[in-house]
Amino acid sequence: MKAIVLNNWLKDVDELVVDNNAPEPKLGDNQVLVEIKAVALNFFDILQVQGKYQEKPPFPHIPGTEFSGIVIKAGEKCKKSFKQGDKVFGSASGCFAERVSAQINNLHLIPDGMSFEEAAGLSITYPTSYAALVIRAKLQKGEWCLVHAAAGGVGAVAVQVAKALGAKVIATGGSSEKLAIAKKVGADYAVNYKDKDWQKQVLKITGGKGVDVVYDPVGLIVPSIKCIAWNGRLVVIGFVSGNIEKVPTNLVLLKNISIIGLFWGSYAKNDPERNDEVWNDLFNLFGSGKLKPLVYEKVFHGLDNVKVGLKAIANRNTFGKVVVIPNGARSSKL
């Protein structure tokens, strides 16, 4: 099959090359073999191919984590849950390929009416944002929530989840175009974090109180302390800026605030019962129409264009979820 195979860490995503004779994925008893129809790209994919991510699989390996597609075959212990022809989405190592084997607990049926492109980006960004705001930050109806990089993959989802919870949302972004996208997905207010006085703008919006919750996938925890309320909660999601911050803990004490981490990928191992709980809630929100996947306007076609999509993410030229169709064919609504 065609796949992007890594034999060493790369300096740049431009070095990604498609292997036309990559090995087929093996099917275990607890796995499902899927023909990939769409792959979602993430910022951490860039870190992974450069050897800068927490998880470093041995060589050779196929990168890529999020996908949607059609079941080819279910393993012996999965046949009651999935059958040939089922339309599914999920997460699995090795998604920059035409086919992948996914663990049964990382696979779900695509909701009715959702395209492969929309479904490809559900499995990481949606539970990440939901768990961050509901489980970790315990965001309440009527509270103020500041979402950084609100037009990005996880940010746009966080805006939708916060609004579904009844919160008042202030979105940040680095351009007028991205602020407009954040407003389109539901943000009540939008502030450009390149403005020198953006924290003062946030304080003015909240009547001087500050925000109750900060959702940060960028690396803006320290500057956000200037506009957080007493008893506020700051959730660390990622470091798209490349900056690992050093936090002045005296301010944490003085403002009585909490800094909380969220790594959804570790829940399957450390808190597996949360998986079903989070996904049940998410499927209810999809069914109600309160959550709607946001796909970047340019869908890339062919595995050769994975590097083009990742480059666009690295340059912050995208919004929502960036998607690649591995075989170059166009997808359609289910």
Average pLDDT by consecutive 10-residue portion of the chain (334 residues)? 97 96 96 98 94 90 97 94 96 96 95 96 96 98 98 96 98 96 97 97 98 97 98 95 90 96 88 90 95 95 97 92 83 46
pLDDT confidence of residue 103: 94
- Strands (DSSP E) found in 26-143: 31-41, 66-74, 87-91, 99-103, 107-109
Threshold 0.75, pTM exceeds: yes
**3-115+293-325 and 125-265 in the same fold:** no
The sign of the torsion formed by the CA atoms of 25, 31, 36, 41 equals: negative
pLDDT confidence of residue 241: 85
The dotted CATH code for 3-115+293-325 is 3.90.180.10
Please determine, looking at this structure, whether the domain spanning 125-265 carries the CATH number 3.30.460.80: no
Per the CB < 8 A criterion, the answer to whether 173 and 201 are in contact is no
For the chain, the structural domain boundaries read 3-115+293-325, 125-265
pLDDT confidence of residue 328: 63
pLDDT confidence of residue 332: 46
pLDDT confidence of residue 53: 87
pLDDT confidence of residue 333: 46
How far is the CA of 63 from the CAs of 50, 68, 237, in angstroms? 11, 15, 21
CA angle 153, 157, 159 (to 5 degrees): 120
Q: Which residue has the tokens 């559900």?
A: 122
